[in-house]
Amino acid sequence: MRFGIELPPQRRVYGGFFIYSFCMGSLPPRLPDIQHAMGVQEGALGFGLIGAAVGTLISLSVAGPWLERFGYRRSILTLIPLLSLFYAIASFAGGPLAFFLLLVPVGLVIGGIEIILNLEADRTEHLIGRRIMNRAHGFWSFGFFSAGIVSAAVAQTGLEVHIHLLLMVPVVILGVALLLGRFDPAPHRSGGSTDETRGFATPTLAIMILVIVTLSAMIMEGAGIDWSAIYMRDEFHVTPFLAGFAVALGAFTQAMTRFFIDPFVERYSPTVVSRVLLSILFVGALLIFFAGSDWMALLGFGLAGIGTSAIFPLAMSAAAQRTDRPAATNVASLAQTSFVAFLLGPPLLGYVAEHFGIRWSFGIGIPLVILSLIFADALGRKPIRHEVD
């Protein structure tokens, strides 16, 4: 029996991205509380966070055939509620090793959701005849922002982390039922290979260049998620709400940019848009690194949200539209390698923060932005226009 709200296919995709990121956005604003409860430094907390990266990389490598076999509908309806539950369980960890082990299942679930939702966004683009990938990722950012604001407010009340995250589980289940209860996967793109994806999707040279383009955005976005609340607490001694607000602010400016940027991509080309965004990211990284006040740091986080907004979605579209291999293979290949930066890089920055200061967790992204600018042509120089079917 089907349940939930009847929505057009593109809005169903938006709903999936929103509720998925709403799960993910609940934890980062509470990381200062988790660190305090464990009584550890940034390096040890970073080690614990690597568990999610390990699980995600494993899942992105092997989940494709399992998802096809189990069915994308059943998979997405199962995985998103499980993600919320696994986050709640992980919050009970008493130390970094337990945190690491309990975050591995979180990562396994994230990898499966990433494959399903990004493929669904690409196939829906093809089905309706216009670009929605950036807007879909914009709804991811809106979900993250919404959860971030809620979590920041809850943190200000002093409610324990694990109680907060347990209360989120039924909220997420209800959201999945309403937004995805009538979900049916879109058909494969025509004109490309539909062979089944198997095992680790080895990146081609073209995919590796796309990874380089996304590197700075992934590092800076991940650093903002994992370390911005702790940065604000340690550097400026702000309230728990303002520390959590730093996480939400980057997600909000990222969401607004993703929501409105597709017409500019269609008019000016992915390369032109990406270079403007990377330049904004460069300014944001400089402001965070050199910030002398909390408002300057918040401005930097806001600009970084804009700068990171469309780089990864544009790369995912470029990978999915290649016809040398199945779309699922190229998407998984880009995701596998890019998520090394997004999920594994920022936790490792905890060791940088512990030994050189937390500002360097963000300063290290400055030269990476320059590297991304050099290879931005890989996203495509021609304006992209679709005719509506």
The per-residue pLDDT for range 225-260, each reduced to its tens digit, is 889 999 999 999 999 999 999 999 998 999 899 888
Residue 2 domain-assigned (yes or no): no
Backbone angles phi, psi at 382, to 5 degrees: -85, 140
- DSSP code, position 25: T
Q: In angstroms, how far is the first alpha carbon of the chain from the final one?
A: 31
- Residue 270 confidence (pLDDT): 87
CATH code, 42: 1.20.1250.20
Residue 3 domain-assigned (yes or no): no
Asked if 244 and 152 count as a contact pair (C-beta separation under 8 A), the reply is yes
Residue 389 domain-assigned (yes or no): no
Residue 361 domain-assigned (yes or no): yes
- Residue 337 confidence (pLDDT): 77
How many structural domains are present in the chain? 1
Residue 384 domain-assigned (yes or no): no
- Residue 83 confidence (pLDDT): 96
Mean pLDDT for each 10-residue chunk of the chain (389 residues)?
A: 78 94 92 92 91 87 83 91 96 94 95 89 84 83 92 92 95 93 77 51 84 91 90 93 92 89 84 94 96 95 94 81 74 75 76 90 93 88 52
Burial class (CB in 10 A: 0-12, 13-18, 19+), 90: buried
pLDDT tens digit sequence for 274-314: 999 999 999 999 999 999 999 999 999 999 999 998 898 78
Residue 192 domain-assigned (yes or no): no
User: Domain residues for 351?
Assistant: 9-184+199-379
Residue 136 domain-assigned (yes or no): yes
Residue 295 domain-assigned (yes or no): yes
User: Quick check: pTM over 0.85?
Assistant: no
